[in-house]
Amino acid sequence: MSLRLLVVAAAFAVAHTVAAAAPIVIKYSHVVADATPKGQAALKFKELAEKKLAGKVEVQVFPNSQLFGDGKEMEALLLGDVQIIAPSLAKFAKYTPKLQVFDLPFLFDDIAAVDRFQGGPKGQELLDSMTGKGIKGLGYLHNGMKQLSANKPLRTPADAKGLKFRIQSSDVLEAQFKAVGANPQKLAFAEVYQALQTGVVDGTENPWSNTYTKKFHEVQKYIVESDHGVIEYMVIANAAWWDKLPADIRQGLKEAMVESIKYGNKVAFDEAATYRQKVIDEKKAQVLPLSKGELEQWRAAMKPVWQEFESDIGKDVIDAALQANKL
């Protein structure tokens, strides 16, 4: 072999070794701030996966709709442009109508009940329900109970009449606001602040961590403690990508995911009260508790939505969710 050929062969061998050793890049994209339960879970996943699988994987986390916003992230996952996302369960109806159960107003008493439902047989069935559509459910992740906000105090459903509310892309949430005579508008999360600020919409609903980290309380005069629903997530991967991973890497990622979800859930439970207090302390929006009687009015006005979606969701699923309140 000539010297020139030897050099080329050696260079090729080096390049090949480098290529073989390059870590698998995993993009994890989401729409909220780093300081939220989902943001913290994603960063924890990066830390744990890169520790467990040192040199074998590189996890890149993209918060705040930086890489893909609401409208695009699912499509990007299916195309393989991103490997892991964690959309709100309100954004899955197209893939599994049963997941709409999580949007039913006044269904879950609290996040502990949601946790029991998700861990039970129906919850686990729903987690596995989209593999045939290219979506691998890796786990549920908590955020918290939603509060209603607007520029007027929403004490009873009559106060919401005629107001425009930003909603996630969910038909259940659309029905929920229509049930109180309001005008719901589906908007991506990244557009909410501006829509509230410029008056494109009058109000919205979100848990404390999202409200605080996205400063919605700075552009809303009143937040009522309605706890009328939940924002919860499913962490998902592109199923084909996940299945093709080398077994040791898939196992390491699985373990990192379980631990990161535990961590994010702890943040969700521990920090909800902290974010609520921060919103109160900043005094930009007034936080109003609702009396039992006022809450009853909201519940009665929104409850017909259950019936409307019962055949889509399944009575068995709704019953299992109700059962989780009682345990």
Decide: is 201 part of the binding site for ligand LMR (CB under 6 A). no
CA distance 294 to 75: 41
Smaller CB separation from ligand LMR, 168 or 220:
168
Decide: is 31 part of the binding site for ligand LMR (CB under 6 A). yes
Decide: is 189 part of the binding site for ligand LMR (CB under 6 A). yes
Smaller CB separation from ligand LMR, 143 or 226:
143
Decide: 295 and 148 in contact? Cβ < 8 Å.
no
CA distance 176 to 182: 9
Decide: is 231 part of the binding site for ligand LMR (CB under 6 A). yes
Of 90, 66, 267, whose CA–CA distance to 176 is shortest?
90
Exposure pattern of 152-163 as b/e (b: 16+ CB <10 Å)? Answer: ebbbbbebbeeb
Decide: is 206 part of the binding site for ligand LMR (CB under 6 A). yes
Instruction: Find the helix or strand (DSSP H, E) in which 26 lies.
Output: strand 24-29
Decide: is 210 part of the binding site for ligand LMR (CB under 6 A). yes
Q: Please, what is the minimum distance in Å from the beta carbon of residue 224 to ligand LMR?
A: 17
CA distance 293 to 97: 32
Q: What is the identity of the amino acid at 98?
A: K
Interacting positions 143-162 with ligand LMR (CB under 6 A): 143
Residue number of the CB closest to ligand LMR reads 88
Q: Please, what is the minimum distance in Å from the beta carbon of residue 268 to ligand LMR?
A: 11
Which x/- pattern, by CB under 6 A, does the window 284-303 give for ligand LMR?
--------------------
Residue with tokens 């996040």: 111
Give the torsion sign (CA, 75, 78, 83, 86): positive
Residues that bind ligand LMR in the complex, under the rule CB under 6 A: 31-32, 88, 143, 168, 189, 206, 210, 231
